[in-house]
Structure 1
Amino acid sequence: MQKIINTPSAPAPIGPYNQAVLAGGFLFVSGQIALDPVSGELLKGDAAEEAELVMKNLGAILEAAGLGFENVVKTTIFLKDMNDFAAVNEVYGRHFTGNFPARETVQAAALPKGVQVEISVIAAK
């Protein structure tokens, strides 16, 4: 059984997917980029500013599913430039305490809408 999670507090999907899917006790959250959930406009900022909005959007989706960052067990971070790792990692780290999730961070040749950061998460109910 699957439950689709979509909230107006995070950007609407820009393709044939949902913000998140709850299945088998896990919440699979689609990759989030720095889109303003109200206007749908892309944030024009540096990688750290993008990461801050991405984490806010992820938090809104987790909340809509009745979860929080403490439930996240796995993350994937995509960066346009690995030189932004430290700045993005600092923002990312502020949203987790105690038991940090498993993670990989990779540099991607291109990301949706030309953003610098995209992050997806998996959380356990």
Structure 2
Amino acid sequence: MPERITWEAVKGQGNSLLSPAYKSNGHVFLSGSTGQDPKTGIFPGDVKEQTENVIQGLKRTLEASGSSLDKTLKVLLFISHAADAAAINEVYAKHFTTKPARSALVVGFPNPKIKVEIEVVAEYKEIKSKL
């Protein structure tokens, strides 16, 4: 049975439309995370700062789910401008050292202040084969 991870568990600003994550069958599925400052809710103008905020938010959610960045299997990266890719990748590479599978898309966000959003799927425990 899937287990919902709550906003209280991750000590984050809640969003009434979604949950930060769900755990099921040894995996944790995170909602997309954006780069606003966790204390003020303001989006920094700098894409590197937003990317760092995103990754720190993902880290908190993964840890609340019994996982970590090192157990990330798949990343879906959304960016607002292709020109920001190098700066985003610079921050990304410092944290995702296991080089998980990844897809990246250039998108138009509803809020023009958003420069990057990342969602991940990670393992939260070893899955033992039944074979």
With structure 1 as the length reference, what TM-score do the two structures score? 0.89
Q: Is the 8 A contact 1:77 1:117 kept in 2?
A: yes
AA at the equivalent of 2:33: Q
Relative to structure 1, the CA distance from residue 91 to residue 62 in structure 2 (aligned partners, 3 Å threshold; closer, same or farther) is: same
- The aligned residue for residue 11 of structure 1 is 13
**Which runs of no fewer than 5 residues in structure 1 stay unpaired?**
none
Q: Is the 8 A contact 1:2 1:21 kept in 2?
A: yes
Larger Cα-atom Rg: 2
Q: Distance in 1 between matches of 2:106 and 2:2?
A: 31
- The aligned residue for residue 68 of structure 1 is 68
**Which runs of no fewer than 5 residues in structure 2 stay unpaired?**
125-131
AA at the equivalent of 1:119: I
Q: Is the 8 A contact 2:27 2:123 kept in 1?
A: yes
CA-to-aligned-CA distance 1:34-79 (integer Å, 9 cap, x gap): 123334x122222111100000000000010111111100001100
- The aligned residue for residue 111 of structure 1 is 109
Q: Distance in 1 between matches of 2:34 and 2:28?
A: 18
Relative to structure 1, the CA distance from residue 12 to residue 36 in structure 2 (aligned partners, 3 Å threshold; closer, same or farther) is: farther
Q: How does 1:10-49 map to 2 (within 5 A)?
A: 10-13=12-15, 15-39=16-40, 41-49=41-49
With structure 2 as the length reference, what TM-score do the two structures score? 0.85
Taking only the aligned residue pairs, the percentage that are identical comes to 33
Matched position secondary structure for 2:111: helix
- C-alpha deviation, 1:8, in angstroms: 4.2
Q: Distance in 1 between matches of 2:118 and 2:27?
A: 17
